[in-house]
Amino acid sequence: MSAQPTDPPRTADGALLGGAHPVRKTSRRMADGREIVYYDDSEPYLSGATPREAVDTRPLPPAEDVVRGGAQVRYDPLTGEWIAMASHRNDRTFMPPADEDPLAPTVPGKFPTEIAEPDYDVVVFENRFPSFSTRIGGEPGLVDGEELWPVRPAAGRTEVICFSPEHAGSFGSLPPHRARTVIEAWVDRTRELSRVEGVEHVFIFENRGKEIGVTLPHPHGQIYAFPFIPPRAARMLEMARKHRDATGRNLLRDVLDAERRAGSRIVATSEHWTAYVPAASRWPVEVHLAPHRDVPDLPALDDAEKADLAQIYLDVLGRLDRYFPGDDPLPYISGWHQAPVHQDRDLMRLHLQVFSVLRAPGKLKYLAGVESAMAAWINDTTPERVAARLREVG
């Protein structure tokens, strides 16, 4: 992996993406040199009649200075995993008041935000406090000169994706048209980040709720371009390789087919997608959403699959919000499992995992002794009961 900073390649400025769902992509630079990309599906921006020309005038230090000497990955010889060290993230924004929302559009005469424009549809920008960055210099080495502990720069990229200019909400509060635009942004970011030197895995996710540890209520997600294959993905690839060696088949394909045959844990189906509670789910509430066609990642989806995804994913999130009685939205983590950028792409099959740490209204599933110390999971319910409830609230 190169330790030199790189400027990731990107689609030409002003390009139209999305095929049947046109989206205009416009790339700009922020005051500190970070990239910001607008994905517009509405006028006057979609046609280009009004260009994105707002200038970020904040007196920010160069982005390179924020991460210099503060981001690295260290190897844990006991687990074979890389652990990111990002001490500069302690200074990130925490639950600001609505009039100081850093993800809101910048209104003239008021608090300047990360987005210089007075309005936007969907926007993606480099995280100001990244866990991984192309701007990190340095060379691989050893902690304390010990061969047990290799260390290297945390090269990669960490991005924020804002689903809406509204101060509060989540993906589930979007109308289908805007959800489709977010999907196009996910596709484009996966494609672009996969071209960045040193990136091995692209993970797109959304955290929702204070119980998850969310520090900003603004509807947004994140995108991590890892310089390694993260542990859960690596373990899934290992199991998929063993399954293929034993059967000649794809493990994730077989899982989907088995869930559809059983039917007892199916939550919802559409022409191109199936949502189900996995037979061995570990979280109190957990749903997987998988395409019917074998595809490795989001860029491999066709227009019909993306349009269908916008509808069924909103349906699933709506069911999750109605899972428990009451008006409090369900806290959740939602993440896309995609094939690695360079290796074992034939082993992984695209799917979404969304789960909650809430085991009952007002009661969290704490990862205590056996879960945290030994990674031995104990579920407080059964997948069949969860699936039945999600069908009931549909």
Instruction: Tell which residue, 304, 302, 312, 236, has the closest CA to residue 274.
Output: 312
> Any idea which residue has 């109190």 for tokens?
284
The yes-or-no answer on residue 220 being catalytic is yes
| Cα–Cα distance for residue pair 75/147, rounded to 1 Å | 10
**Residues composing the chain:** 394
H or E segment and range at residue 233: helix 231-247
Q: What angle do CA 102, 104, 105 make, to 5 degrees?
A: 120
Residues 6+ apart with CB under 8 A from 211: 331, 357, 358, 364
Burial of 156 (0-12, 13-18, 19+ CB in 10 A): buried
> Any idea which residue has 């088949």 for tokens?
249
Of 88, 201, 220, 288, the catalytic one is 220
Q: Give the orientation angle of helix 251-262 with respect to helix 231-247, to 10 degrees.
A: 80
Positions annotated as catalytic residues are 220
